[in-house]
Each structure stands twice: as C-alpha cells, then as structure tokens.
Amino acid sequence: DAGITQSPRHKVTETGTPVTLRCHQTENHRYMYWYRQDPGHGLRLIHYSYGVKDTDKGEVSDGYSVSRSKTEDFLLTLESATSSQTSVYFCAISGLAGGFSYNEQFFGPGTRLTVL
C-alpha cells in the first residue's frame, strides 16, 4: 500500500462542534483528495489539492474547508459539524512519483465520523 495514513480512524462528535481530519502521505505525491462515502452515493469529492497551499472545491464542498501547508499533510475541517456530515471520509493521493501515472489514485484507510 502507498504510504497514506488518516487520523483519527474513528470519531464521534456532537452537532455544532469543529472537527479536523488529517491525511498524511510519505509518497511526495502532488495531488491529494478528500472524499466522503455514503450508501447510495458512492464516493464524492469534497476538496482536492494540487500543491502546497493550492486547493479547490469538489462536488460536495459546502460545510468543509481544507488546508495544505506541507506536501505530506492535507487537513479537512468541518467548522460546525452537522448530522448530514456523518460519513466515512477517505483521503487519496495521485501524481508522478515512483512511476505512478497521474490518474491512478491511492487511498487511505478511511475515517468513520459520526455526528450526533
């Protein structure tokens, strides 16, 4: 597996509280992504990053913000968590490193977030 870790792996929080999820990679890949996975919806892109301090929105970005201050770390923040943000969150990476093509993505193990 590519060197991607996510923390925490599980989190239960209450509505209205801020939550930050961390994705860390050791592959020096340029692109990093945050997805959420929900039954009946598959994987949906929240935000992505194409370099340090370079981020952009995906298809379901409302209520989420991201930051990337170092190549290896990509943070996803829920400023004020809502029950609709209960989901499994996956980080992924891609980019030219070690022979990987641009379009292949490598996924972290996921974070299961429950908002009560």
Partner 1 sequence: SQQGEEDPQALSIQEGENATMNCSYKTSINNLQWYRQNSGRGLVHLILIRSNEREKHSGRLRVTLDTSKKSSSLLITASRAADTASYFCATDVLKFGGDDKIIFGKGTRLHILP
Nearer to partner 1, 11 or 14 (CB): 11
Cβ 75 to partner 1 shortest distance, Å: 18
Residue from 39, 47, 81 nearest 63 by CA: 81
Strands (E), the chain: 4-7, 10-13, 19-25, 31-38, 42-51, 54-57, 64-70, 73-78, 87-94, 106-107, 111-115
Minimum Å distance from CB 71 to partner 1? 16
Binders of partner 1 among residues 38 to 97 (CB under 8 A) are: 40-45, 48, 50, 56, 58, 90, 92, 94-95
Distances (CA, A) of 83 to 11, 15, 17: 13, 6, 11
**CB nearer to partner 1: pick between 14 and 54:** 54
**Residues near partner 1, by CB under 8 A:** 4, 31, 33, 35, 40-45, 48, 50, 56, 58, 90, 92, 94-95, 101-110
